Structures are given as structure tokens and as C-alpha cells.
């Protein structure tokens, strides 16, 4: 609007009054907008949250996701639904979360596979989980258990090592996917015993286990979470756990290290991640709530029943834990010369 020049001799104070009122009104509108935005953010969450499990139903990521979804939803006051987006050794589900709206309503059940192994295994992921996801809370660490089909003439790690040396490739082992934790834990074992097994990858833990139970493969290095029920049911023959000490859920099983391969250790982890750039107040809500839920006695007990060992660290500690683990498995991948197309 064109301003009318002030009359000669008139005071400029009277002419500036409308402008002051306009500026005050504009400021009020901006302040109201900021207040409204803050109120909107502080209302988080106000609808359903999706927790993506990037592996098939029945695997550890799926089991842990479903175990946590209800108590997490109760604590947040909203429903948390689990969505399985399997494929690519966890890449498809992770990519979906990375590309999701960074509003806190899409979370990922990340793991050693998604955050430690895949970024070291693939050159063309299209994302870097260390940059493109934000750690929320670690659910815990979990070791593996090495077991064989009941008809395999191997009763100990010593027998297994002898077979790998005397009959290279004679024992076939399944895995949840090429380059995954269940693959690399055997690659690490091979490198330490100078023996050889035959690798047969599957699309997830469940089909690999089915193949072992059916005699299609001889051996599996399975996460304790999903392996223990088969051991307790007597469906498989367990040889050892991969943890540095005997596991409280399988106390009669020796560690691989004490059973004849000194220094061997393979431990995985599971935890919640969000897309990068989630608003800080929303991320804080998620982090504080998730950590409190995971520490609840009843939740901790259920995680323990799944073979999980608590890792008491905050979000930064979780990020540091993942970075260290990534370096370890990156070295295994490089040492074994593992490549993917």
C-alpha cells in the first residue's frame, strides 16, 4: 500500500503509530504460530507408531519387536504396531525407515546386521545407518548358539573343528542370509581353526532353522533368542554358545572359547532407531520412554527369557557401542574377503 506523506509541520509520531500496531500484530501472529507448533510437538505421540522389523516373522528381530511393542505403546499412550519388511538381509526395512517422515512415528528394530554388518558389506546401500538413523535405545545384547542336526555325528566343538579340518566342506551350515551375523560367526570360526564348512544362505532365520530340522543342512549358528526353544525341546544338538562367558539361559553349554577355540567371541545386539532429523523433543520422548520401558523389571525379565543381556547405556553410549561393533565385523568381512554384488 502506498503511504500518504506526512503534512508539513506534522509530528512523525502520529504517522508511525499504525506501523507500530501492524508490527505488534505481526509479532503476535508469529508467536501464536510458534506456540501452536510447540503445542503440536509436545502432543507427541497422537496416533499409531509403526515399528519396522526388517526380517521375516519368527526371527529374533520380530520376536523382540513384538515383545516390546505393547509395553512401549502403553508407556507412550498410543498403539505400537509391528510391521515386517523383510529382504536384503535387513536392507529393505532399514531403507524404508531411513526414507520415512522423520516425525517419530516410524521406528526400526535395528541390529548387528542392519547397523554393523551391512554398511561394511555393501558399497551401494544408498544410506549410512550411522548418519541416516538416530539411536533411540538398545534392547540388549545377545549371543549365538551353535547347534547341529541330531543325526550329524558331531557332539562337541572339538569334533566340529576336527571335521572341518579332516573333511573340508563336509559339514554344511545354514544362515539367515549371506553376510549376516549367522554367516559371519562361522566365518570367524573358520578363520580361527583353519578349517572349512559349506555355507548355504536362506532368507531369514526361520527357513534356515526349518532346513536344519529337516536335514537339508547340518549346522546353524543361531541367535540364542530363537535357538534356545529348539535346544530345550531336544530338536537339535547344541555344541556351544558364542558369548565370552556361559549364558545364564544355557548354563550347561560351554563357550566356544572354553571348548577349544580360545579368544572366539560373537555377540549381537538389538535396539530401536528412528530416522535422522526427528525433532529433538520427539526424539527425547522416545529415548527416555524406551529406556524406561526396557528397564522395567517385568520387561527386563522377558528380555532375559529371550536370551538378552542388558546393556545399560544412553543414546550416545548406544551409538558408540554400534560403532565399535561395526569395526569388529568390518575386519572379519575384509579378512574373509566377503563381497556381494
Mean pLDDT of the chain: 88
DSSP code per residue over 193-236: HT---EEEE-SSHHHHHHHHHTTSSSEEEEEHHHHHHHHHTTSE
| Alpha-carbon Rg for the chain in angstroms | 27
Q: Quick one: average pLDDT of 241-265?
A: 94
Residues 94 and 156 in one domain: no
Residue 25 predicted with pLDDT over 70: no
Residues 138 and 271 in one domain: yes
Tell me, yes or no, whether 98 lies in a domain.
Answer: yes
End-to-end alpha carbon distance in the chain: 64
Cis peptide before 157 (omega within 30 of 0): no
pTM: 0.77
Nearest Cα residue to 66 out of 47, 51, 76, 54: 51
In the block, cell 545386539 appears at 269
Residues 135 and 279 in one domain: yes
Residues 190 and 275 in one domain: no
Number of folded domains in the chain?
A: 2
Tell me, yes or no, whether 23 lies in a domain.
Answer: no
Q: Could you list the residue range(s) of the whole structural domain that residue 179 is in?
A: 143-241
Tell me, yes or no, whether 260 lies in a domain.
Answer: no
Tell me, yes or no, whether 21 lies in a domain.
Answer: no
Residue-wise pLDDT tens digits, 167-203: 999 999 999 888 888 999 999 999 999 899 999 999 8
Residues 115 and 157 in one domain: no
Residues 236 and 154 in one domain: yes
In this prediction, residue 60 carries a pLDDT of 83
Residues 149 and 236 in one domain: yes
74: domain CATH number is: 3.40.190.150
Amino acid at each position: 500500500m502506498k503511504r500518504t506523506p506526512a503534512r508539513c509541520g506534522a509530528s512523525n509520531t502520529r504517522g508511525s503509530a499504525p506501523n507500530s500496531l501492524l508490527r505488534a500484530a505481526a509479532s503476535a501472529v508469529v508467536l501464536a504460530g510458534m506456540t501452536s507448533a510447540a503445542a503440536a510437538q509436545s502432543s507427541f505421540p497422537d496416533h499409531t507408531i509403526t515399528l519396522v522389523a526388517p526380517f521375516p516373522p519368527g526371527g529374533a528381530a520380530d520376536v523382540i519387536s513384538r515383545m516390546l511393542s505393547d509395553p512401549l505403546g502403553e508407556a507412550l499412550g498410543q498403539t505400537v504396531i509391528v510391521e515386517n519388511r523383510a529382504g536384503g538381509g535387513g536392507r529393505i526395512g532399514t531403507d524404508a525407515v531411513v526414507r520415512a517422515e522423520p516425525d517419530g512415528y516410524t521406528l526400526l528394530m535395528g541390529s548387528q546386521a542392519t547397523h554393523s554388518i551391512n554398511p561394511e558389506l555393501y558399497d551401494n546401500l544408498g544410506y549410512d545407518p550411522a548418519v541416516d538413523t538416530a539411536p533411540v535405545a538398545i534392547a540388549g545384547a545377545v549371543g549365538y548358539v551353535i547347534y547341529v542336526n541330531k543325526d550329524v555325528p558331531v557332539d562337541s566343538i572339538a569334533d566340529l573343528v576336527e571335521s572341518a579340518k579332516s573333511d573340508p566342506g563336509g559339514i554344511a551350515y545354514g544362515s539367515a542370509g549371506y553376510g549376516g551375523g549367522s554367516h559371519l560367526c562361522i566365518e570367524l570360526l573358520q578363520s580361527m581353526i583353519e578349517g572349512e564348512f559349506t555355507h548355504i544362505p536362506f532368507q531369514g532365520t526361520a527357513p534356515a532353522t526349518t532346513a536344519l530340522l529337516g536335514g537339508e543342512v547340518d549346522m546353524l549358528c543361531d541367535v540364542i533368542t530363537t535357538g534356545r526353544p529348539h535346544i530345550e525341546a531336544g530338536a537339535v544338538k547344541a555344541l556351544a554358545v558364542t558369548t565370552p562367558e556361559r549364558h545364564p539361559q544355557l548354563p550347561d553349554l560351554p563357550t566356544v572359547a572354553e571348548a577349544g577355540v580360545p579368544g572366539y567371541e560373537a555377540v549381537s545386539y538389538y535396539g530401536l532407531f528412528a530416522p535422522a532429523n526427528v525433532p529433538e523433543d520427539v526424539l527425547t520422548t522416545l529415548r527416555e520412554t524406551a529406556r524406561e520401558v526396557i528397564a522395567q523389571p517385568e520387561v527386563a525379565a522377558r528380555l532375559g527369557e529371550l536370551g538378552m543381556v542388558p546393556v545399560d547405556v544412553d543414546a550416545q553410549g548406544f551409538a558408540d557401542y554400534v560403532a565399535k561393533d561395526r569395526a569388529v565385523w568390518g575386519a572379519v568381512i575384509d579378512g574373509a574377503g566377503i563381497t556381494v554384488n
